[in-house]
């Protein structure tokens, strides 16, 4: 096998997909660990952020934004309601508007502090320019339509 074979020497080294996965796992692990302090999981914190920005949205909206199946949204929303962080009020006969409770807003503020610390921890690995370039590039990969 020729030594110029791009897979030979370090077969994973130039693979964007592999390192994207490892980086994502590393950040998710750090985020999850930090969120344990307020008994939230990463997806739950993300849902609280979305409800704050889109009060009155329905759980199917959130599922579409986050790429989560409707069926899998059910236990997540139920858990947040049971924990007293969100409230549901009937819109039509089939959908319920979602809002943060007072406790949900308080928890979200704590989550935001954690998110900032977590993001700063990783983003401080890079210069401002590197950071902007990195976010722009990753956006391009993750955006569905673009």
82 or 126, CB closer to a copy of itself? 126
Residue 38's binding partner, choosing from a copy of itself, DNA, none, with beta-carbon cut-off 5 to 8 A by kind?
Answer: none
The contact pattern for a copy of itself, residues 31-50, with x = CB under 8 A and - = no contact, is x--------------x--xx
Q: Which residues of 7-46 are buried (b: 16+ CB within 10 A; e: fewer)?
A: eeeeeeeeeeeeeeeeeeeeeeeebeebbeeeebebebbb
Rounded CA gap, 58 and 80, in Å?
Answer: 14
100 DSSP β-pair partners: 86
101 touches a copy of itself (CB under 8 A): no
CA 76 from centroid of its chain's CA atoms? 14
Contacts with a copy of itself, residue ranges (CB under 8 A) = 6-12, 14-28, 31, 46, 49-50, 52-53, 67, 112, 115-116, 118-119, 122-123, 125-126, 130-131, 133-135, 137-142
């Amino acid at each position: 096998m020729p030594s110029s074979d791009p897979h030979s020497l370090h077969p994973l080294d130039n693979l964007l997909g592999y390192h994207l996965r490892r980086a994502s796992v590393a950040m998710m692990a750090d985020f999850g660990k930090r969120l344990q302090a307020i008994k939230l999981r990463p997806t739950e914190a993300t849902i609280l952020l979305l409800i704050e920005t889109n009060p009155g949205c329905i759980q199917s909206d959130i599922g579409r934004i986050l790429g989560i199946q409707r069926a899998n949204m059910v236990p997540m929303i139920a858990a947040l309601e049971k924990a007293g962080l969100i409230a549901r009020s009937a819109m039509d006969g089939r959908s319920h508007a979602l809002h943060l409770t007072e406790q949900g807003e308080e928890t979200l503020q704590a989550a935001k502090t954690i998110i900032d610390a977590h993001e700063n921890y990783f983003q401080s690995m890079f210069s401002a320019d590197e950071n902007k370039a990195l976010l722009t590039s990753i956006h391009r990969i993750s955006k569905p339509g673009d």
